[in-house]
Amino acid sequence: MESMAAQVSIYPLHQTSISDAISEALEAFRATGVEVRPGAMSTVISGDENAVFTALREGYRAARVQGDVVMVATLSNACPTPATPHGAGAANARHQPG
């Protein structure tokens, strides 16, 4: 299975605290076994394709338990991941300096 990455942002709506929904999503991502790299404005998850899509679904489900939520994800098989530092095997690898 090919590896991939997803940049994910969770936007809790109409909630007194935004951190609860985001924390729940992060916990759900980690529970699926994908690599999780939280950032100030988004989180990057990476792993094999099935694991990333499972993580997205479980993260969304965990966040929505807290209330209304919007989740935005950008998917790529060309961005570097911990397992493929230069996106090896993906389109991006052809464009990396040798």
Q: What pTM was computed for the model?
A: 0.80
Across the chain, what does the average pLDDT equal?
Answer: 86
Is the sign of the CA dihedral 31, 32, 35, 39 positive or negative?
negative
Q: Where are the domains of the chain?
A: 3-81
Model confidence pLDDT, tens digit, residues 15-34: 998 899 999 999 999 999 99
* Class of 3-81 in CATH: alpha beta
